[in-house]
Chain A
Amino acid sequence: MADHHPTGIKRWLFTTNHKDIGSMYLWFSFIMFLIGGAMAMVIRAELYQPGLQFVDPNFFNQMTTMHGLIMVFGAVMPSMVGLANWLIPMQIGAPDMALPRMNNWSFWILPFAFTLLLLSLFMEGGAPNFGWTFYAPLSTTYGPPSTDFFILGVHMMGISSIMGAINVIVTVFNMRAPGMTLMKMPLFVWTWVITAFLLIMVMPVLAGVVTMMLTDRHFGTSFFDAAGGGDPVLFQHIFWFFGHPEVYIMILPAFGVASEIIPAFARKKLFGYASMVYATASIALLSFIVWAHHMFTVGMPVAGELFFMIATMLIAVPTGVKVFNWVATMWKGSMTFETPMLFAIAFVILFTIGGFSGVMLAMAPVDFQYHDTYFVVAHFHYVLFPGAIFGTTAAVYYWLPKWTGKMYNEKMGKIHFWWSMIAVNLTFFPMHFSGLAGMPRRIPDYNMMFAEFNQLASIGAFALGLSQLFFLYIVIQTIRSGKKSEDKPWDGATGLEWEQLPCPAPYHTFDTPPKVK
């Protein structure tokens, strides 16, 4: 096949090329990241000092809701799908994803889904204002009219994610090059296959719960309304049955990224490959039986609380194994600390801090004190920002030469790293303290006793927001005027994409299957 390379707008609208689609996913997620980030800036500006300074409480609630929805569904999830599109075919020696037209469709749904969601900001009654967890009956009986747009948007994102997940599974199980056995696959591919199974299991549950909301709102059902024989807590059970695996959907691919980058810069094979695979699978399985740890205060029977507490604490075991394996990979390696490695190490450390607070939150009797305070906000931002997002950032620096054929400016990369590293901790570490001191989450105003920590967090957040614009600048500068990259810019890098393909990777790769050692 000739190296057919369409151009212009049609290239992007009609493309079935995994690299083009991967790029579109990554750019889309970055745009969403900036929009969701801008909303975070509004939140932090309002919380910089006590008092209602800039926005109404209702608009504040719209901001926290939209910030959460956009970051989860618009920024983190599509960024992982973007990485999957770019990397999985190259890493398993396939010419493309198995279902290229569906791939195109699953991307192009997203801009429409998020346009619907964002339009709700301009509707009468405002955007959804019930938190990204949209608990009933606040989101059903009491939701603004735009809730229906939110429901449709979530359905569309769900369809997109399910199709993306099917594509990954079909590709990995059918299109591996001869000799690429399952247990030879790069860890990034493994983590993504497991993520894809999680997606297929739980996205339909999310679709179910928003449909139940829709019928409660408009068609006379009472799934979540006690007055009609329903139960508001049922909503939470269904939501978190989706929501907890969702947490791992966002973090597992980042585990995969760290497992690629740390060995490359330690110049040493990944320690405990098999146990990494099994640990990832155990985390995924456990993620289905821990959902109600988000609901310790809803009034569950003690037996239920005990079960969910113990199951949740168990997750620390496979997660610990992964962290120990990363450290053991570094042990006696020959390490250098280029930007991807810095982000990967920060990922391991800061994600682990999020893991520690996770164990604390798992302990039900103490969770009564942490639940729905800023301590929880600190916890999940530690696993999501320096976790998932640092993981993606590390991946972008690491594979940018492969994608663009250009090398980023190492000095600027390092500045970006230290800037983000300091800002992320300044933003989120004080939140542990405001939470312990008793500050509830999702409030636009607070007592003076929480003032110092909020001020620190706001300063950190503004710096963190700026650092992401700097990242954008670095990436654009690399694409436009970066130095040409060698074919193998990282001497410790392994895998088909580094060993058998030049930089940049040609538009079509592995038309004939590569030989796998």
Chain B
Amino acid sequence: MAIRRKLFAGLAVFLSGLLSSAVYAAADLNMRPGVTETSVEAFELHMIVVWVMTGIAAVVFGVMFYSIFAHRKSKNPTPATFSHSTTVEVIWTAIPVLILIALTVPAVKLLIKMEDASNPDMSVVVTGSQWKWHYKYMEQDIEFFSNLKTPQVRENFKLEDAQNNENYLLEVDNELVLPANTKVRFLLTADDVIHSWWVPELAVKKDAIPGFINETWTSVPTPGIYRGQCTELCGEWHGFMPVVVRVLPQAEFDQWVVKKQEEKVAAEKAAAEAAARSWDMDKLMALGKEVYDAKCALCHQVNGEGAGTFPALKGSEMAIKADRMKDHIEIVVHGKAGTAMQAFSGQLTDAELAAVITYERNAWGNNTGEIVQPAEIQAFKAGN
């Protein structure tokens, strides 16, 4: 294995050196064993199967290559005439059955263990949506979105970015922070399409399905940062919604929880103050553009012209007619069932909602001059 690894890595480095001046990280040839009990056991089972399969390959292909060498026409001009042998056929049916039974036993044991999420110490609800994750700590009452650190626009993903960043495509703004040596149960669901939450080094992969809740679990003994990705095709930016888990010793985790809870109180206070204030057009437009470009432009486009199934906002009746303003607020706050339009009430503050709606009613020639105040959003929410 070591020799093969070296040979292959050598070849790979040679070829890549030949073809580009890029600096490459060392290649991983095999699955990583990971850090949890189950991931190590899955890795060991993987290695057992690899070696069993390699053994079978060596025997079968060995016989075949010997035959190709020894039973060529030039060496063996007269072919034998046998065409069946019940004994041999029974033997080579029975042996694979025995090998498979031998493989099944550890697989069944491990599977039952991996699927047993009972008696957790804490639970986190993981919600996938296009194209980010949302984490909600059930016991600690903390929740937040976890986005790819780089905004999802094409210009941000270049070869140089990948070369200059070891964690290219694998960093988020808010990591999922977990305590070490704690059995954490994940409850997975999704807002829109199916996503799949995978952290290779924890050997946890489970689909997040809209309208249903799946469960899985992990218990990580070693503090550290573990990175993974969404593994179920979920639309345009499927490759750009990583999972990052930071595991901390229990004491540090507790500090983190306290800090997060304080931040939450402060943020709520700030949002309430912002909402209570009256905003002028310039401020709303500035904040609105920022929010729009980050949250809305992926589908409705920066120029508001939409694309494909995503409707244009520029010139849209809902965004320019005064009597449709309520519908406009409704769709942004609550989303539209059965379409890709999500509810933004949980993702944006009242001030941000007011700003983005104001922006949409005044940008790109939608010059309605209308202002939506955070207080109106508050009133709308209260009225619903």
Give the distance in Å from the alpha carbon of A13 to the alpha carbon of B11 in the complex: 52
Q: Is the CB of B67 within 8 A of A330?
A: yes
Chain B residue with minimal CB distance to A216?
Answer: B338
Known: A306-B111, A371-B205. A144 touches B309 (CB 8 A): yes
Give the distance in Å from the alpha carbon of A335 to the alpha carbon of B80 in the complex: 11
Q: Is the CB of B192 within 8 A of A137?
A: yes
Q: Is the CB of A321 within 8 A of B93?
A: yes
Interface string of B236-259 (1 = CB under 8 A from A): 111110000000000000000000
Give the distance in Å from the alpha carbon of A52 to the alpha carbon of B157 in the complex: 6
Q: Is the CB of B97 within 8 A of A317?
A: yes
Q: How far is the CB of B14 from chain A (nearest CB, A)?
A: 10
Instruction: Please give, as numbers and ranges, the residues of chain B lying within 8 Å of A348 by CB-CB distance.
Output: 64
Binds B, one of A83-91, A175-183, A440-448: A440-448
Q: Is the CB of B25 within 8 A of A51?
A: no
Q: Is the CB of B210 within 8 A of A137?
A: yes
Q: How far is the CB of B163 from chain A (nearest CB, A)?
A: 7
Q: Is the CB of A138 within 8 A of B169?
A: no
Chain B residues 157 to 176 lying within 8 A of chain A, measured CB to CB, are 157-163, 166-170
Chain B residue with minimal CB distance to A309?
Answer: B107
Number of contacting residues on B, CB 8 A? 112
Instruction: Please give, as numbers and ranges, the residues of chain B lying within 8 Å of A327 by CB-CB distance.
Output: 60, 63-64, 67
Q: Is the CB of A459 within 8 A of B205?
A: no
A336 interface hit (Cβ, 8 Å): yes
Q: Is the CB of B239 within 8 A of A445?
A: yes
Chain B residues 126 to 170 lying within 8 A of chain A, measured CB to CB, are 154, 157-163, 166-170
Instruction: Please give, as numbers and ranges, the residues of chain A lying within 8 Å of B30 by CB-CB distance.
Output: 433, 436
B111 partner, pick from A137, A313, A328, A365, beta carbons under 8 A: A365
Q: Which 10 A-B pairs have the closest CB atoms?
A: A226-B211, A125-B308, A443-B239, A50-B162, A299-B214, A332-B80, A51-B159, A437-B28, A452-B12, A269-B83
Chain A residue with minimal CB distance to B64?
Answer: A327
- Known: A137-B193, A335-B71, A449-B25; 6 extra A-B contacts, CB below 8 A, are A56-B154, A135-B194, A309-B104, A332-B76, A352-B57, A436-B28
A-B contact pairs, 17 of them (CB 8 A): A49-B20, A49-B22, A130-B233, A138-B193, A226-B212, A323-B60, A333-B79, A333-B80, A334-B71, A334-B79, A348-B64, A349-B61, A363-B49, A366-B46, A372-B205, A446-B169, A448-B24
Chain B residue with minimal CB distance to A355?
Answer: B53
A316 interface hit (Cβ, 8 Å): yes
Q: How far is the CB of A264 from chain B (nearest CB, A)?
A: 11
Q: Is the CB of B210 within 8 A of A371?
A: no
A443 partner, pick from B38, B43, B238, beta carbons under 8 A: B238
Q: How far is the CB of A85 from chain B (nearest CB, A)?
A: 29
A366 partner, pick from B45, B198, B211, beta carbons under 8 A: B45
Chain A residue with minimal CB distance to B78?
Answer: A334
Interface string of B6-40 (1 = CB under 8 A from A): 00000011011001101011011111100000110
Q: Interface on B for A, CB 8 Å cutoff?
A: 12-13, 15-16, 19-20, 22, 24-25, 27-32, 38-39, 41-43, 45-46, 49-50, 53, 56-57, 60-61, 63-64, 67-68, 71-73, 76-85, 88-89, 92-93, 96-97, 100, 103-104, 107-108, 110-112, 114-115, 154, 157-163, 166-170, 192-194, 196, 198, 200, 203-207, 209-212, 214-215, 228-240, 307-309, 337-340
Chain B residue with minimal CB distance to A263?
Answer: B83
Known: A226-B211, A433-B28. A359 touches B53 (CB 8 A): yes
Tell which of B57, B92, B163, B337 has the most Cβ of chain A within 10 Å. Answer: B92
A212 interface hit (Cβ, 8 Å): no
Q: Is the CB of A446 within 8 A of B83?
A: no
Instruction: Please give, as numbers and ranges, the residues of chain B lying within 8 Å of A507 by CB-CB distance.
Output: none
A368 partner, pick from B42, B160, B211, B234, beta carbons under 8 A: B42
Known: A52-B158, A324-B60. A309 touches B309 (CB 8 A): no
Instruction: Please give, as numbers and ranges, the residues of chain A lying within 8 Å of B167 by CB-CB distance.
Output: 447
Give the distance in Å from the alpha carbon of A443 to the alpha carbon of B89 in the complex: 45
Chain B residue with minimal CB distance to A131?
Answer: B233
Chain A residues 205 to 243 lying within 8 A of chain B, measured CB to CB, are 225-227, 231-233
A451 partner, pick from B25, B76, B239, beta carbons under 8 A: B25
Q: How far is the CB of A235 from chain B (nearest CB, A)?
A: 9
Q: Is the CB of A363 within 8 A of B115?
A: no
Q: How far is the CB of A458 from chain B (nearest CB, A)?
A: 10
Instruction: Please give, as numbers and ranges, the residues of chain B lying within 8 Å of A323 by CB-CB distance.
Output: 60
Chain B residue with minimal CB distance to A236?
Answer: B194
Q: Is the CB of B338 within 8 A of A302?
A: no
Q: Is the CB of B107 within 8 A of A438?
A: no
Instruction: Please give, as numbers and ranges, the residues of chain B lying within 8 Å of A135 by CB-CB distance.
Output: 193-194, 232-233
B207 partner, pick from A231, A297, A356, A360, beta carbons under 8 A: A297
